[in-house]
Amino acid sequence: MDDPFVIVEAVNKIIKKQTIVHNIDLRIGTASIVGLCGGNGAGKSTILRMIAGINQPTSGEIYVNRLQWKKDRKRFSQQIGYMPDDFQFPQGLTAGEILSFWAALRRVPEKRVDAVLAMVGLEDKKDKPVNTFSKGMRQRVLFAQALLAKPPLLIMDEPTNGLDPYWMNEFVKLLHKIKQEGHTVLFSTHQLEIAEEVADSVVFLNAGRNCGGGTVTELRQKYGDYPLQAAFQQSLGFELR
């Protein structure tokens, strides 16, 4: 891969004397979609938060567009749109008010709020309090805020949780469109069928360790039907039948 957009080198994370992430290396190219796949406790969220600059690694280095968080925090942060796996929205605020606040923080024109609400199908909910929304609708608000500044790198933690089948399909189409516009996407999921549908390549994680992966095309050629499930099972040492 020529000149990766995201580089993760020998990254470890220790919390309360316990190693949560073990010596992770990643190379992610520009205009690509990469899925971090694994179950609960695999280290997906911790890795994403470190790449986003929210938490710092105990050791190792992370670069986004050749920038390091420690050396140039402002420019590093400007590269990234981050969607957490959950968020406690302020009581009573509408979707429009919340996105307007985030837009002001990112110095994004107010008209962009309407654009991202339309992208996630919530343009008619702009003046509705977010605390009345379903889980899937709240996820779409979080997705909208991550898109506000048209970030070169979009990082999403379990973005499809709570989405209904229609919006699962729309999510896949949106990510492909974002990639075609030149953006890089990194997301986590425990839903291998979603990763297979949207990702160019996947990384399998277990107990904070990289236990395999590859491009989805390569895995399809090797395993045929349900390639990610088969590859993930093999990476954990399960016998395939």
Q: What is the pLDDT of residues 189-213, one digit of tens each?
A: 999 999 999 999 999 999 999 999 9
Structural domain harbouring 110: 87-150
Residue 96 lies in a domain: yes
Estimate to the nearest angstrom the gap between the alpha carbon of 96 and the chain centroid.
23
184-189 and 201-206: which strand pairing? unpaired
Beta bridge partners of 215: 201
Read out DSSP for 175-190?
HHHHHHTT-EEEEEES
Angle between helices 227-235 and 216-223 (to 10 degrees): 90
Cα–Cα distance measured from residue 92 to residue 88, given in angstroms and rounded to the nearest whole number: 12
Residue 223 lies in a domain: no
Residue 15 lies in a domain: no
For the chain, what's the residue count? 241
Number of Cβ within a 10 Å radius of residue 205: 27
Residue 117 lies in a domain: yes
Please state, in angstroms and as integers, the Cα–Cα distance from residue 144 to each residue in 137, 140, 154, 181, following that order. Answer: 10, 6, 11, 17
pLDDT given at position 65: 96
Domain count, the chain: 1
Residue ranges for the chain with pLDDT beneath 50: 239-241
Give the full edge-to-edge strand order of the sheet including 6-15.
18-28, 6-15, 59-64, 67-68
pTM reported for the whole predicted model: 0.94
Residue 94 lies in a domain: yes
Q: Render pLDDT for 66-96 as a digit per residue (tens, 0 to 9).
A: 999 889 999 999 999 999 998 989 989 999 9
- N-terminal to C-terminal alpha carbon distance within the chain: 34
Residue 58 lies in a domain: no
Cα–Cα distance measured from residue 145 to residue 148, given in angstroms and rounded to the nearest whole number: 5
Residue 162 lies in a domain: no
CA atoms within 13 A on the CB side of 79: 21
Residue 51 lies in a domain: no
80-83 and 153-157: which strand pairing? parallel
pLDDT given at position 240: 38
